[in-house]
Amino acid sequence: MSEHIRVSVADGVCTVAMHRPEKKNALTRDMYLGLAEAIERSAADPAIRCLLLTGTAEVFCAGNDIGDFQKPRPAENPDAPGPSHRFYFGLANFEKPVVAAVHGLAIGIGCTMLLHADIVYAAPEARFRLPFVDLGLVPELGASRLVPWLVGKHKAAELMLLGEFFDAAAAERMGFVNRILDRAELLPNATATAQALAAKPQEAMRLTKQLLRPDMPPLIARMEEEREILAERLRAPETQAIMANVLKPKR
């Protein structure tokens, strides 16, 4: 388990906290592995009946760690998928309820993973962004299908093509967030909600979640398509130049 992923289980709830505050919880390959392992454990353990995703007191997740993202990595092996693949598809296919508590920034993957949660609470200070185009990339985790499904085609285009920040109030209006709660109340309320979900009849919960979700085969196919294009974009000169500039030491 990654030192930057903290996992605890109580009252039927597996709480998974991203904890790399010095880097705003930006995800590394090792952190993806920790997230994937926690999700896989939660899916397999009948005593775990709900998953709660959170970050630190100041930030949820500021996206992928650009330096880690640029490191060479082996080609995807269908028989032994890599950490990010395991996380993406483990979360998308997770049959139990998922609650998220968002403090501060939720950027890139930090925003798109919320599309796979069932209930999302955010602090008033939370800020969201889908910056893929600005990085020379394309959306992931099914966002190119889920965001238009959530907010409509034109609003989705505005969010993803312009890539501007939006605040918690806008996120609530658009349906990214269920409720805005004061920072001190955020995690306690999210935990109480997760515990309430964990106490409900689980087969009825599973079937209802299944009915509420968009048609899964097209979503999974889109996620695979996004990953293929993303891999190509990571090798593109345009993207390499953007990332090199991001990593350039600031004077």
pLDDT at 68: 79
pLDDT at 231: 92
Q: What is the pTM of this model?
A: 0.94
Angstrom distances, CA of residue 85 to CA of 45, 157, 189, 234: 21, 25, 30, 16
Strand order in the sheet with 119-122: 5-10, 13-18, 50-54, 98-102, 119-122, 179-180
Angstrom distances, CA of residue 87 to CA of 33, 35, 37, 215, 231: 7, 6, 8, 20, 16
Q: Compute the distance between CA of residue 182 and CA of residue 99 in angstroms, rounded to an integer.
A: 17
Indicate the pairing of strand 127-129 with strand 105-107: parallel
Q: Which residues contact 98 (CB under 8 A, 6 or more apart)?
A: 50, 51, 52, 53, 91, 116, 117, 118, 119
Through-space distance between the first and last CA atoms of the chain, rounded to whole angstroms: 36
Q: Compute the distance between CA of residue 142 and CA of residue 139 in angstroms, rounded to an integer.
A: 7
What DSSP string runs through 24-70? TT-B-HHHHHHHHHHHHHHHH-TT--EEEEE--SS-SB--B-HHHHH
Q: Give yes or no for a contact between 133 and 164, defined as CB atoms under 8 angstroms apart.
A: no
pLDDT at 247: 79
3-state SS assignment for residue 14: strand
Domains in the chain: ranges and CATH: 5-184+202-247 (3.90.226.10)
Residue 47: φ, ψ to 5°: -75, -20
pLDDT tens across the length of the chain (251 residues): 679 999 999 999 999 999 999 999 999 999 999 999 999 999 999 999 999 999 999 999 999 998 876 666 566 666 678 999 999 999 999 999 999 999 999 999 999 999 999 999 999 999 999 999 999 999 999 999 999 999 999 999 999 999 999 999 999 999 999 999 999 999 999 999 999 999 999 999 999 999 999 899 999 999 999 999 999 999 999 999 998 888 777 66
